[in-house]
Every structure is written in C-alpha cells, then in structure tokens.
Amino acid sequence: MSTATKKEHKSNRPQRGGVATFVEAIRQGLWEEMERDPTVFIIGEDVGLYGGAFKVTDGLLDEFGEGRVIDTPISEAAIVGAACGAALLGMRPVAEFQFIDFISPGFDMLTNYAAKCRYRWGAGLPTVFRGPCGAGVHSGPFHSLNAEAMFLNTAGLK
C-alpha cells in the first residue's frame, strides 16, 4: 500500500473585476486567455516555478502545466525566436522578459523577422512580447528603459 499522498490542487486564480494593480490586471488577462484558448502559452525566464519577475505568472504553472508555461534559459534572442516559430505553427505565445531592457538581444529577430513576416510571406505572427519597463522599483540603469519608441517606429509591429 502506497503511503504517498496526492497533492491537492488549489487554484491560485486571480479575482475577476474590481480594483486591481497593473500586475494583477495583467495576470488576470493572461489567465483568462489561457482558459479561453488552449493555443495560448507563456514562455520566458522564471515564468514557471518562480512565477515571473513581479509574480505576474504566479499560479499559471500549477493551473496550466509545463507545456503552456515554459521556463527558458537566459537567452532573449531564443525566446523571441521560439515565440515566432510557435506563432507560425498556429500557437499564440506570450513571451515575457524580466525587464523590457533585456529584449535588446532579441531585437534583430523582432524587427527583421517578426515584424516583416506579414509583408514577406503574408504570415501573421499572433504573439505578445511583454515585460515591465520604467522606473520606480530602484533597479538601476539596466532595469529602467522605456522602449516604446523602439517598438512604435518599427513597421509591422502593433
């Protein structure tokens, strides 16, 4: 007779509606989309076990599993490339960066591949690239970039 006990799954689902912080609102939106659409998945550094840099993905691994909440090595270019490849195969990836500053190594793939797929081949890439930006968390010069201008001036990105 086994003495192992089955771990009871307790959902960490965010509360719907009401007043929410930015983190709570993003987490709620991710959760709802992952419930609604089985092709939505999250990929990035520490998004699974750790729950994301600011706990945006907290509880998603337990709820949706390792196939849809994917921890990656520290390689932002690989994260962008994997998200683009998955989108071309019909998935809907959400690529998360610990801070948006770190998207820089993946910017070539983002601007010269992802942004141009529709123009080159008529192929859309339904992908979200997200990460925290700006000041206010006392993280120094490498964690406080506001990258909006880089994205807004790239044809093909929305």
Catalytic residues: 143
Q: CA 133, CA 138: separation in Å to the nearest integer? A: 12
For 19-71, give the DSSP string.
---HHHHHHHHHHHHHHH-TTEEEEETTSSSS--TTSTTTTHHHHH-TTTEEE
CB 121 within 8 A of CB 156: no
